Amino acid sequence: MPKKRPADERAGGRASKIPSRRRKHLYLVVDDWERGYSIRKLDLSSDSDSDDVDEANGPDGRTGTELRLPPAVFRLEAPRARSGLFAAFGTKIVATQLTPRGTIPMFDVRTRAFTFGPRQEGQPNPCCTDFVQVGDNLYFIDDSCFMMLDPPPPPPKFAHPYIQIDWTWRGLPVPPFDDCPVSYAVHPDGRTIFFSTQGQTKKHTEVATFTFDTVCSQWTRHGAWRLPFRGRGYFDCELNAWVGLSGQPDNLGHLCTCEVVSADANTTDGHPPPTCKLSKEKLFCVDPAEKHIGATLVYIGGRSKFCLVQCIATDDRKGGVWEEVLPECLCYLYRVTTFSLNAVHHRLRSYRLPKIATEYCDHLEKPVAFWM
């Protein structure tokens, strides 16, 4: 009796791929439309069937080919120069810019469905806004408020088809600090958010770290120190530590790891600063012909796998012997680097941004990228 062939042989010699509906992708929100933004989808898997190529890195970290951004999967009409007001949770990308009716647009990357979320009171500050996902909830904090976007409850078993239960914004206790957080991270307990500030607080004028318990809705001060990274830090279960981009100007472009601090309220103001380590390798461009504009680090799961989206500018003058006397002509690129903290190999791709995408600098200084 003939033996059954292995599944990979029956599939033509290749192991069957994970269904695309399960595989996650990198989504970029780009300010490159005269009426708003486009959402671009990048497949970072090694067996990708896209036109992307795995470039061979030279000694200076550059690649020889600049790729085009993939076609937009969706375009969202919204006020430009406010890319910092985009957030993501679950399978939805949310634009918290207010529409004329006060609602917020929501796009589901899996179902490709477009809906409107609940009204907001006031316009968020695009220069001082952070979004944190904890479970199925999205938390929003800026210099004037702290709120949570509550998903609708499951519909009743015998609900009328025309009865729709909406999303709602729920106000939360006011933070005990006045300035915007400089760094934040979600504790592995799944309920505690750490926020670090550097400046004026309600009772202190110093560097400080606070926690918010999302179950008890309670703020706690943890000490006169700050988390070492800039912006968001990600918990990595392999290292049992938080990982982020260093927040020190002298260490620009380096990763830093930080031990997870206890969320126990009994350690209030008595917990020492966490132990931190700095990576030896610099992830940002090292070519003097390239100018660093901004970067965003995204955790893509697995075994300490990350993706760095860096915006760089290069001089695109092509004048031959007259090049030095021609005016500077900057070309902007998104350099997407995927890597694992446990491996030496980096995979790098460079995407040239269209000219219209360089009219405003906010999404260049802080690229908007989501792993979903």
According to the 3-state scheme, what is the secondary structure of the chain? CCCCCCHHHHCCCCCCCCCCCCCCCEEEEEEEECCEEEEEEECCCCCCCCCCCCCCCCCCCCCCCCEECCCEEEEEECCCCCHHHEEEECCEEEECCCCCCCCEEEEECCCCCEEEECCCCCCCCCCCEEEEEECCEEEEEECCCEEEEECCCCCCCCCCCCCCCCCEEEECCCCCECCCCCEEEECCCCCEEEEEEEEEECCCEEEEEEEEECCCCEEEEEECCCCCECEEEEEECCCCEEEEEECCHHHCCEEEEEECCCCCHHHCCCCCCCCEEEEEEECCCCCCCEEEEEEEEEEEECCCEEEEEEEEEEECCCCHHHHHHCCCCEEEEEEEEEEECCCCCEEEEEEECCHHHHCCCHHHHCCEEEEC
pLDDT for residue 270: 61
Distance CA 100, CA 22 (A): 36
pLDDT for residue 236: 95
Q: From the first residue on, what is the mean pLDDT of each consecutive set of 10 residues in the chain (372 residues)?
A: 43 43 89 95 68 40 73 91 91 84 86 86 74 91 86 62 68 90 96 88 72 95 92 94 93 94 70 89 86 96 91 76 58 94 86 94 94 94
pLDDT for residue 122: 65
What is the count of structural domains for the chain? 1
Read off the pTM. Answer: 0.84
- The verdict on residue 18 lying in a domain is no
**Adjacency order of strands within the sheet including 26-33:** 72-77, 36-42, 26-33, 368-371
- The verdict on residue 239 lying in a domain is yes
Domain residue limits at 206: 26-152+166-371
- The verdict on residue 12 lying in a domain is no
pLDDT for residue 53: 38
- The verdict on residue 333 lying in a domain is yes
- The verdict on residue 172 lying in a domain is yes
Distance CA 43, CA 41 (A): 7
* Exposed/middle/buried for residue 145 (C-beta within 10 Å: 0-12, 13-18, 19+): middle
- The verdict on residue 259 lying in a domain is yes
pLDDT for residue 318: 62
- The verdict on residue 238 lying in a domain is yes
CATH of the domain at 82: 2.120.10
- The verdict on residue 9 lying in a domain is no
pLDDT for residue 161: 54
